[in-house]
Structure 1
Amino acid sequence: MSDTIFDLVQGDGPLVISMPHCGTELSPGLADRLTEEALTLRDTDWHIPRLYGFAGGMGATLISARYSRYVVDLNRSSTGESLYPGQATTGLCPDVLFDGTPLYREGRAPDAAEVAQRVEGYWRPYHDALAAELARVKERHGFALLYDAHSIRSHVPRLFDGRLPDLNLGTARGTSADPGLIAGVVAAMERASAAEGLTCVADGRFVGGHITRHFGRPADNVHALQMELTQDSYMDEEAPPFAYRPDRAEKLQRVLAAVLEAFAGWRPAQG
């Protein structure tokens, strides 16, 4: 099944994988308003659907955005509150790139009315579909597992110091999923990362964005985790065309498979 706003492939398991930042399409007329640097779509979560393509064989439901985060950021609140108060970040309809340079040509940024239109036209359909899929799998299994899949350049000095670990698991500081589930996923991530020579952290610089924090409600049997990957662990991150690197990706995919197996294999306690 596909939609003009997102692509959806339904699975029969309890796992739903959301990919809100992989889109590269722009809304009508937007390209004419962006800077040359912004037109490279540098801040896209490149190749995420390809990287997680194996998950369909695990029975996962896959929902992936078609439109760029430069149209509207699906991992922000619809009212635009900062995810990390006091720290540099980007907004609901960002006006700067991750490095702080302007996204728009002079005087071409959206006003409040246009932001509201983008929320209704792009943000809300994705979130409604994600909520519907979580409700569907919860109805079938009694619980739902949400994995929000992201990636970012390994070095973005405006957002964080130094180099990020290769895998950055976010659990909203332990509140978005069952503690035992989190512990099992973290252990699987650490074992598999060590075996492949990759680095990892839980609740480091990225603890989970709006999707993880909003939908992760363990008391209501919906458990959410976010994974932020360094792009140099599976692709060329520095310059267009931001090519996928199968030689790097295969190693990372083995770790991701271990993480998803631990996540999707968890079951709530009975009684």
Structure 2
Amino acid sequence: MQDINKPGVLFLNAPKNTSVPLVLDSPHSGTTYPEDFNHASDFMVLRRAEDTYVHELYANAPSAGAVLMGAHFPRSYIDVNRGLNEIDTSIIDGSWTGPVTPSEKAEAGIGLIWRVNQLNDAIYDRKLSVSEVQNRIDHYWQAYHDTLKGALDQSVQQHGKVYHINCHSMPEISNESSKEGPGVQRPEFCLGDRLGTTCDAAFVDVTKTTLETLGYQVAVNEPYAGVELVKAYSDPSENRNSLQIEIRRDLYMDEKTLEKSDNFEKLKKDLDILVQKLAEFSLTA
């Protein structure tokens, strides 16, 4: 496998030397805002949707033999952690012929194409053309999914199995749109396997135990259990395992200024330890 870089779209950093059946992806840490976005949102509010720096926290994963990939574009442009059917057609000017299924995320304005920002304010002062939406699907969503699926399939072909980590971050405190209600402090880490359906329980356990040994508070499936990317490509019965990891943002950054904190490097080193442990597990499990 070779490195991939599609400017403005995605990157894939291949394993260094020997590979292990471990693939990490960071779908929401992109900070390259496409020229055709043409949003009307306050930019810093819009940026609150980013998992800023998450791909940097895991940057050493290829040295442990793992694949690391991520999006360059922001989730507020098109969210690759949503299904193509999770689309709010009210923001489209024209007739949409693609699949549409009632979705809690789409109804809340944060489906495939986000309608509102983190303050629940409208992102656009206009409707999007059908061609705009189709372009985002074809050149961003599809490209990301094809690349991730290709990396996962290659691991299965080479090793007979794959362990996929879907990498995210979360605000320290919940807001009005959170399922737990506003003002609740989140755990430092949340692991999501969609209630035991997307990942081998032993992989979840070693992830949780390693993080706790490093001194972190870890919850499982609360407040996040995982969404499209862990659901779409997982099948533990076929040795395809996907686990979502959410990191509380105040552990490594200032949530208001989006600047890295003094703890950034310590957290990164701890994640190096975690990835190395998971890489070893993936070979022997």
Q: For this structure pair, what is the TM-score category when the shorter chain's length is used for normalisation?
A: 0.7 to 0.9
**Pick from 227, 232, 250: which aligns with 1:209?**
227
Match of 2:54 in 1: 48
- Which amino acid counterpart does residue 135 of structure 1 have in structure 2? D
Give the superposition deviation at 1:84.
Answer: 5.7
Match of 2:111 in 1: 91
Match of 1:70, SS? Answer: coil
Alpha-carbon separation, structure 1, partners of 2:45 and 2:206: 41
Match of 1:261 in 2: 276
**Pick from 16, 19, 22: which aligns with 2:23?**
16
Give the superposition deviation at 1:41.
Answer: 1.8
Quote the RMSD (CA, aligned, Å). Answer: 2.5
Alpha-carbon separation, structure 1, partners of 2:242 and 2:46: 31
Residue pair 2:21, 2:283 contacting (<8 A) in 1 also = no
Match of 2:49, SS? Answer: coil
Give the superposition deviation at 1:34.
Answer: 2.5
- 1:83-136 per-residue CA deviation (whole Å, 9 max, x = no partner) reads 7679957211101112312222x2x24255533331122100110010111111
- 1:192-223 per-residue CA deviation (whole Å, 9 max, x = no partner) reads 2xx3xx32211101101100111121112111
**Pick from 79, 82, 100: which aligns with 2:120?**
100
Describe how 1:60-209 pairs up with structure 2 within 5 A: 60-80=66-86, 90-104=110-124, 106=125, 108-111=126-129, 113-157=131-175, 158-159=177-178, 160-161=180-181, 162-192=184-214, 195=215, 198-209=216-227
Q: Aligned pair 1:6/2:13, yes or no?
A: no
- Which amino acid counterpart does residue 172 of structure 1 have in structure 2? R
- Which amino acid counterpart does residue 260 of structure 2 have in structure 1? Y
Match of 2:187, SS? Answer: coil
CA distance change for structure 1 residues 248 and 154 in 2, over 3 Å: closer, same or farther? same
CA distance change for structure 1 residues 145 and 40 in 2, over 3 Å: closer, same or farther? same
Match of 1:42, SS? Answer: helix
Give the superposition deviation at 1:224.
Answer: 0.7
CA distance change for structure 1 residues 6 and 82 in 2, over 3 Å: closer, same or farther? farther
Alpha-carbon separation, structure 1, partners of 2:166 and 2:239: 17
- 1:237-265 per-residue CA deviation (whole Å, 9 max, x = no partner) reads 113xx1112x3123323443343334322
- 1:165-210 per-residue CA deviation (whole Å, 9 max, x = no partner) reads 1111111111111122222222222222xx3xx3221110110110
- Which amino acid counterpart does residue 20 of structure 1 have in structure 2? P
Alpha-carbon separation, structure 1, partners of 2:220 and 2:280: 19
Give the superposition deviation at 1:77.
Answer: 0.8
Identity %: 25
Residue pair 2:106, 2:112 contacting (<8 A) in 1 also = no
- Which amino acid counterpart does residue 233 of structure 2 have in structure 1? F
CA distance change for structure 1 residues 126 and 163 in 2, over 3 Å: closer, same or farther? same
Match of 1:243 in 2: 259
Alpha-carbon separation, structure 2, partners of 1:92 and 1:218: 26
- Which amino acid counterpart does residue 68 of structure 1 have in structure 2? P
Match of 2:40 in 1: 34
Residue pair 1:83, 1:209 contacting (<8 A) in 2 also = no
- Which amino acid counterpart does residue 138 of structure 2 have in structure 1? E
Alpha-carbon separation, structure 1, partners of 2:251 and 2:244: 17
Give the superposition deviation at 1:26.
Answer: 2.4
Give ranges in structure 2 of 5+ residues lacking alignment: 87-100
Match of 1:147, SS? Answer: strand
Alpha-carbon separation, structure 1, partners of 2:271 and 2:153: 25
Please give the TM-score of this superposition, normalised by the length of structure 2.
0.82
Give ranges in structure 1 of 5+ residues lacking alignment: none
CA distance change for structure 1 residues 47 and 269 in 2, over 3 Å: closer, same or farther? closer
Residue pair 1:82, 1:89 contacting (<8 A) in 2 also = no
**Pick from 236, 247, 252: which aligns with 2:267?**
252
Match of 1:149, SS? Answer: strand
